[in-house]
Amino acid sequence: MIKKLTGTILPLSFVALVNAQECFDEAVYLTTPMKEFVVHGDGTVSHLRTGLMWKQCLQGTSGDQCQTGEASLLTWEQAFTELKAVNQDGFGGHNDWRLPNAKELSSIIEYGCHDPALNITAFPNMTSNKVWSSTPLGGDMSTTAHQLRSWFADYGEGEITFLNADRVTQKHAVHLVRGAQ
């Protein structure tokens, strides 16, 4: 059973800050409880289970609750241009930010919720955007279709997919990560 949450406190310190997020009843185990994250207060979040550090906000948004700006929707190539700028600026004191691979994106998906399917205490004001991964489609890379497609995360539905992931024409959000690969 799914129930709509509006500003209530969930178990495991999972606070609903975005009115649209829906989660399963309290009896269902959440896949990304807050105990797995450390919010550093500088725009970064560490995921203890994977050892990865994430930007707390999508590119284009900022603030302690990611409340300023709007998520930048970029082609895959534009995402790498944006990544270069973030590393030149040394966001959070680091210059080794990168586009996450599909497996890394799946590690922060909250499979007990949707709209967005993320822990919104660790990643506040996250929208239900599609987010690029660095993982190419794979398969027969000799075909143009495979060369121009990549996997992405759908933060709304909580899935990793490659449908409508044309790197040249599609525009998705960017959520940067650093650390183990």
Mean pLDDT by 10 residues, the chain (181 residues): 35 43 74 96 97 98 96 95 97 97 96 93 92 82 64 94 81 93 52
- Which class for 85: exposed (0-12), middle (13-18), buried (19 or more C-beta within 10 A)? exposed
Query: What pLDDT is recorded for position 137?
Result: 80
Residue 55 β-bridge partners: 44
Phi, psi of 77, rounded to the nearest 5 degrees: -65, -40
Model's pTM, two decimal places? 0.83
Query: What pLDDT is recorded for position 180?
Result: 64
Q: 55: closest CA among 155, 180, 174?
A: 174
Query: What pLDDT is recorded for position 56?
Result: 97
Domain chopping of the chain, boundaries: 2-178
CA distance 155 to 149: 19
Q: Which positions ≥6 away from 8 have C-beta within 8 Å?
A: 16
Query: What pLDDT is recorded for position 75?
Result: 94
Q: Are 124 and 17 in contact (CB under 8 A)?
A: yes
Longest Cα–Cα distance of the chain, Å, equals 51
